């Protein structure tokens, strides 16, 4: 008898709204993290209308407050609980935590770039390796999507984490992976069938509309990590 096909499961990974640390360009990755700015709250408020076409049956957020704040408008609109999951937090900056200088931002970007090029043994200074990050993040995504149902699971997470995890999950070529950027409330829509993930859509700008973007803000966890970005 042929094996029964696993129903398609849609996963929408959304980055949190803008925070004060994003504006400053600080590598803010530790719990609890900064709150949303006024713009960040407007970005979050725009999410429900932007995903009105999705049959959302679960909403998850990381342990950092900014993802939970971003999830609140969608949860209220759908009458769902925001479930906080360990493992969905941002890639730890380690010794670079809360630093603002260009050299620190470049060191963080270079660590991500090495992972996207396949060197998962590399570790950020005082932080985690690519293997350690992917193990805890993908385990959290598996937990978020394992419940019965075929609706869309929305996960509010972080810029660097989403870029690295999506690149690995769908097997993006390195040249495409390092070119990914994601603004606050940008995201990735994925589908899983028979335990294989595919990328349906990548949204680099805020899901509620490009007019909600703030290109003037330094953004070390959302910017692409191509060679051209190094030394800016």
Catalytic residues: 16, 90
Sole residue written with tokens 């490009």: 210
Q: How far is CA 20 from the centre of its chain?
A: 18
Closest to 23 in 3D by CA, of 13, 11, 12, 38:
38
**How many CB atoms are located within 10 Å of the residue 61 CB?**
26
8 A C-beta contact, residue 193 and residue 6: yes
- What is the DSSP pairing of strand 9-15 with strand 152-157? parallel
User: What's the rounded Cα separation, in Å, for the pair 83 and 174?
Assistant: 32
In 99-193, where do the E strands start and end?
152-157, 187-193
User: What's the rounded Cα separation, in Å, for the pair 125 and 180?
Assistant: 23
């Amino acid at each position: 008898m042929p094996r029964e096909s696993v129903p398609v499961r849609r996963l929408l990974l959304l980055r949190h709204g803008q925070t004060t640390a994003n504006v400053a360009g600080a590598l803010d990755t530790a719990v609890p993290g900064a709150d949303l700015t006024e713009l960040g709250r407007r970005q979050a408020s725009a999410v429900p209308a932007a995903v009105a076409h999705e049959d959302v049956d679960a909403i998850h957020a990381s342990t950092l407050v900014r993802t939970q704040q971003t999830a609140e408008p969608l949860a209220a609109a759908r009458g769902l609980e925001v479930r906080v999951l360990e493992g969905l937090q941002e890639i730890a900056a380690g010794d670079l935590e809360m630093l603002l200088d260009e050299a620190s931002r470049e060191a963080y970007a270079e660590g991500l770039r090495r992972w996207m090029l396949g060197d998962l043994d590399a570790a950020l200074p005082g932080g985690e390796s690519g293997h350690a990050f992917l193990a805890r993040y993908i385990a959290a995504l598996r937990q978020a999507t394992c419940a019965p149902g075929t609706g869309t699971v929305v996960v509010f997470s972080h810029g660097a984490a989403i870029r690295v995890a999506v690149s690995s999950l769908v097997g993006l070529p390195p040249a495409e992976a390092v070119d990914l950027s994601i603004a606050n409330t940008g995201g990735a829509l994925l589908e899983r069938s028979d335990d294989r993930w595919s990328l349906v859509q990548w949204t680099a700008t805020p899901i509620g509309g490009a007019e909600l973007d703030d290109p003037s803000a330094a953004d070390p966890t959302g910017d692409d990590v191509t060679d051209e970005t190094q030394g800016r």
